[in-house]
Structure 1
Amino acid sequence: MHVNMTDRPRGPALLLLAAVPPMVEMGALVGLRFFAAQPLAPQATAVWPYDSYHDLRWLLVYHNSWETFALGLVVAVVVRGVLSAGLTALAWPDELDRPSWRWLVRRNLEVAGIAILIISPWAAISVAFSAVALSWYLFASVVPMLLIAPFLQRAGVVQHWWRGLPSVGLLGWSVLNFLVLTLASAVIVSVPGWSRVIVAGLAGVVNGLLWRRTVRAAVRHEPTRLVRVPVAPIAIVVTMVAAVGAPPLIGLASGTTGAWTPPFLKRPLPEKVPYAVVVLAGFESSWDGQPPVDPRVERFSYAGLDASGRPLAYRPEDTHRSLDSSAALLDAQVDALHRRTGRPVALAGESEGALVIRTYLDKLPGGPVAAAMLFSPLIWPGRAYYPPPWHEGWGLVAGWELRAIAAVTNLVKEVDTGPDELFIRSVIAEAPFYRNRILCPVPGVRMIAFLPLIGAAEAPPGEYTRVPVVEVPALHGGLLGRGDVYEQAVAFLAGEPVDQPLRVYEVVQRLSAAWQAPPLVLDVNPIWSAGREGDPALSGRICEAR
Structure 2
Amino acid sequence: MESTHGRLAALLVLAVLPPVVEAAVLVGIGFHSAQGVAPQVTAVWPYDSYHDLRWLMVYHNSWLSFLLGLLALIGIRGLLSAGLTSLAWPEGVDRPSFRWLVTRNVEVAALAAVIISPWAALSLAFSAVALSWYLLASLIPMLLLAPFLQRAGVVGQWGRGLPTIELLGWSLLNFAVLTVAGALIASTPGWWVVAVAGAAGVANALLWRQVVSAAVRPARVRWPRVPVTPVAIVLVMAAAVAAQSVIGIAAGEQGEWRPPIVAERLPDRVPHAVIALAGHDSSWDGQPPADPRVERFSYRGLDGQGRPLPYRPQDTHRSLDSSAALLAAHVDALHRRTGRPVALLGQSEGAMVASTYLEKWPKPSPVEAALMFSPLIRPGRAYYPPPGHEGWGVAAGWELRGIFALANLPKKVKTGPDEPFVRSVLVEAPFYRNRTLCPVAAVRMIAFLPTASAAEAPPGEYARIPVFQVPAFHGGVLGRRASQSRVVAFLAGEKVDVPRREYDLFQRLGAAWQAPSLALSINPVWAATREADPAFTGRICEPR
Letter in structure 2 aligned against 1:110: E
Percent identity, aligned pairs only? 67
- In structure 2, give the amino acid aligned to 1:525: N
Residues 257 and 282 in structure 1, CA contact (< 8 A), matched pair in contact too: no
Q: Distance in 1 between matches of 2:148 and 2:317?
A: 40
1:480 Cα deviation from its structure 2 partner: 1.8
For 1:320-335, list aligned pairs within 5 A: 320-335=317-332
Tell me by how many angstroms 1:545 deviates: 3.0
1:91 partnered with 2:83: no
> In the aligned structure 2, how far is the partner of 1:259 from the partner of 1:282?
12
Contact 2:450 2:476 in 1 (8 A): no
Q: Residue 193 of structure 1: which of 190, 211, 235 is its match?
A: 190
**TM-score normalised by structure 2 residue count:** 0.99
CA RMSD of aligned residues (A): 1.0
Corresponding residue number in structure 2 for 1:67: 64
Between the aligned partners of 1:137 and 1:317, the Cα distance in structure 2 is 21
Pairing of 1:315-354 with structure 2 (within 5 A): 315-354=312-351
Amino acid at match of 2:406: V
Measured in 2, the distance between the counterparts of 1:5 and 1:94 equals 11
Please give the alpha-carbon distance, in whole angstroms, between the structure 1 residues aligned to 2:531 and 2:419: 24
- Cα deviation for residue 95 of structure 1 reads 1.5
Q: Whole-Å Cα distance in 2 between the matches of residues 57 and 356 of structure 1?
A: 29
Q: Which residue of 2 aligns with 1:483?
A: 481
Structure 1: distance between partners of 2:63 and 2:249: 34
Which structure 2 residues correspond to residues 109-508 of structure 1 after superposition, within 5 A? 109-221=106-218, 224-366=221-363, 367-508=365-506
1:257 CA displacement: 2.0
**Alpha-carbon distance in 1 for matches of 2:254, 2:538:** 33
Q: Hey, what's the Cα distance between the residues in 2 that align with 1:477 and 1:347? A: 17
Matched, 1:80 2:63: no
334-343 or 222-231, which moves further after superposition?
Answer: 222-231
Aligned to 1:532: 530
Counterpart code for 1:181: L
Q: Structure 1 CA distance, aligned partners of 2:67 and 2:538?
A: 32
Aligned mates of 2:204, 2:528 — CA distance in 1: 41
The Cα of 1:96 is off from its aligned counterpart by: 1.3
1:226-269 per-residue CA deviation (whole Å, 9 max, x = no partner) reads 11111001000000000000011011111322211011111111
Partner Cα separation in structure 1 for residue 262 and residue 24 of structure 2:
53
Q: Which amino acid aligns with 1:305?
A: L
Q: Secondary structure at the match of 2:276?
A: strand
Q: Does structure 2 retain, via aligned residues, the 8 Å contact 1:5–1:94?
A: no
Asked if structure 2 preserves the Cα contact closer than 8 Å seen for 1:244 and 1:408, the reply is: yes
Q: Which residue of 2 aligns with 1:522?
A: 520
Conservation of the 8 A alpha-carbon contact between 2:163 and 2:221: no
State the shift of 1:412 in Å.
1.0
TM-aligned CA deviation for residue 529 of structure 1: 2.5
Native 8 Å contact 1:118 1:240 kept in 2: yes
Residue by residue over 1:295-317, the C-alpha shift from the partner in whole angstroms, topping out at 9 and shown as x without a partner, is 11100000100111110000000
Contact 1:345–1:369 (Cα < 8 Å) also in 2? yes
CA distance, structure 2, for counterparts of residue 395 and residue 542 of structure 1:
24
267-276 or 4-13, which moves further after superposition? 4-13
Secondary structure at the residue paired with 1:178?
helix
Per-residue CA deviation, residues 458-499 of structure 1 (Å, 9 max, x unaligned), is: 000111110000000011003222221011011000000110
Q: 1:493 & 1:7 partners in 2: Cα distance?
A: 69
Q: Report how many aligned residue pairs link the two structures.
A: 543
The 4+ residue runs of structure 1 with deviation greater than 6 A are none
List gaps (5 residues or longer) in structure 2: none
Deviation at 1:223, TM superposition (A): 5.3
8 A contact 1:453–1:474 mirrored in 2: yes
Which digits, 9 at most, give the CA deviation of each residue in 1:265-310, with x for residues without a partner? 1111111111000000000000000001111110000010011111
Give the Cα separation in 2 of the matches to 1:544 and 1:7.
54
Look up the SS of the partner of 1:327 in the other structure.
helix
1:255, 1:284 within 8 Å by CA — same for their partners in 2?
A: yes
